[in-house]
Structure 1
Amino acid sequence: MELKVGDKIPNFTAKDANGVEFKSQSFVGQKPLVIYFYPKDNTPGCTTQACSFRDQYEDFKDLGAEVIGISSDSVASHDKFSSQYKLPFMLLSDSDKKIRKLFGVPTGMFGLLPGRVTYVIDKNGVVQMVFDSMLAGKHIPKALDAIKKLVK
């Protein structure tokens, strides 16, 4: 079941790039979130997407939002990827793909690749935007526009 606009995000926990446990419920009620699911660390599209979020991260922060990237890569892979590209936001390891399933993220490329989907969630945990596209660079402006509309 894919999450849609108007749905509340499910509670989930995961390890970040430092091996620290992240709990989604600790953010709900605090600030808007941009949660983006991507296929794999250190691949061309995913690196482009992560670096684009990095380059615009201050714009999201200035609007009071937090950016979180999620893939099935390991904590160690996220740590290396995050350090290599100086990513200022959290990367969460979903090695068992439970979070991907909770959100109902579809697979891309005829089921061969994990999907690339960005969710914008308001501070109450309600999905305000879902953008599903393998075009990595398109996610950042869409998410930023959605966050701007939330904080008006």
Structure 2
Amino acid sequence: MPIKSALFICLGNICRSPLAEAVARKHLAGAGLDIEVASCGTGGWHVGEQADPRMRVAALNAGYDLEPHRARQLHADDIDRFDLLLAMDSNNLRDMRRMFGGKGDDRLALFLDWAGAAPPRDFPDPYYEELTAFTQSVVLAERGVQGLIQRLRQP
């Protein structure tokens, strides 16, 4: 099945998944791949908020604008809206599987695993870490998106 849309999922949709969305949007377009991308969180604590200020700075320093982002929570109909749902970590993937009850399991995966960018398998959450963790997240997101592009180009 050709991939026309991808959803990146983390816990609160203020750090990892909006970053992956922005990196993917820029690099997929640059690679000539017309794929809709979006992001969300499994939890609803930050719905409507911007990305974490530390992530916005780290992303902007690398050329990605997270200012327009507003957090949203994963919805049951997302399994019908997206061809590929990529969790940032194993806990997010477990929560997604629980929510969807086995529906679309072939389209649910860990972002870094699916992209062939592992290790690590789980994309570390920088939220409770030092500022350097946010910069490292940008590097990891870029590596993951490059793997994603390579995989999407495979016949």
TM (norm. structure 1) is 0.42
Higher strand share: 1
TM (norm. structure 2) is 0.41
Higher helix share: 2
